[in-house]
Amino acid sequence: MAERLAGKVALVTGGARGIGLETARAFAAEGAQVVLVDLDETEGTAAAEKLREEGAEALFVQADVSKAADCERMVAAAERSFDALHVLFNNAGISHIDDGDAESTDEAVFDLTMNVNLKGVFLGCKYGIPALRRAGGGSIINTASFVASLGAATPQLAYTASKGGVLALSRELAVIHAREDIRVNALCPGPLRTELLMKYLDTEEKMQRRLVHIPMGRFGDAEEIAQAVVFLASDESSFVTGATFAVDGGITAAYVTPE
């Protein structure tokens, strides 16, 4: 069976752990050359080395996605090292422990969350789109969330607002660049068994309170999200752009009312 991303160069932000790392591994398994980007140099270097041990062509770039110069540099590194960029997975994101409702959330927490989760996606696209254009087209996948479509059960206003922004940004860019063979889709994962969520759901009671809302009755795994990203990155999704691509165990089907 042919590799689905053979000959492609893919850049993954937030690639040192969780969804990012599993997606980088899945990209490599499908034949892509992978640029792994993360703020944590120690974890990112180790992750890229592990991928190379598994037979992948992988490069690590340390970058803060909220900084324009770092985003410009990561894209330049991809083109310099692998001659092109075909797939951009803007996945880096944070969920701050002090993110609550409008009254309790500090302005600094709100600003930090927006800078990483929304501005980081904007900057990735700002510098990534010209590279995809130079490559003759490609696929951008931006990590939003199921909370971009419905309110979160636990107050996390900055996170929810930032992911709603990612969804809106992705839709507009999809329309703008559709005739350039540049596809832009918003990935909307549901609750996952990752470090980002489990730090909040630290008791069985909290877990069950969240699980009752998931029709499938379980948390998703990062590997399941990675396979969805591979589809959006590959030519199999060649007629998919501007999509709100939910991988959420049925949550939005159960709770979002069609307009």
- The proportion of the chain whose per-residue pLDDT surpasses 70, expressed as a percent, equals 92
Which has the higher per-residue pLDDT, 207 or 248?
A: 248
Query: Taking 70 as the threshold, does the pLDDT of residue 198 lie above it?
Result: no
92: Cβ contacts below 8 Å, ≥ 6 apart: 13, 14, 20, 37, 38, 39, 65, 116, 120
pLDDT tens, 127-154?
Answer: 999 999 999 999 999 999 999 998 877 8
Return the active site residues. 159
Highest mean pLDDT among 155-159, 200-204, 234-238: 234-238
pLDDT tens, 100-118?
Answer: 999 999 999 999 999 999 9
Please report the pLDDT score of residue 206 as a whole number.
67
Measured at the CA of 42, the angle between CA 21 and CA 14, to 5 degrees, comes to 35
Predicted TM-score (pTM) of this structure: 0.94
All structural domains of the chain:
9-246 (3.40.50.720)
Query: Taking 70 as the threshold, does the pLDDT of residue 258 lie above it?
Result: no
Contact, 86 vs 132, CB < 8 A?
yes
Query: Taking 90 as the threshold, does the pLDDT of residue 23 lie above it?
Result: yes
Please report the pLDDT score of residue 256 as a whole number.
72
Mean pLDDT of the chain: 93
138: Cβ contacts below 8 Å, ≥ 6 apart: 8, 85, 86, 87, 88, 132, 181, 182, 183
Query: Taking 70 as the threshold, does the pLDDT of residue 196 lie above it?
Result: no
Split at pLDDT 50, 70, 90, the class of 9 is very high
Please report the pLDDT score of residue 194 as a whole number.
67
pLDDT tens, 35-92?
Answer: 999 999 999 999 999 999 999 999 999 999 999 999 999 999 999 999 999 999 999 9
Query: Taking 90 as the threshold, does the pLDDT of residue 174 lie above it?
Result: yes
Measured at the CA of 26, the angle between CA 225 and CA 9, to 5 degrees, comes to 115
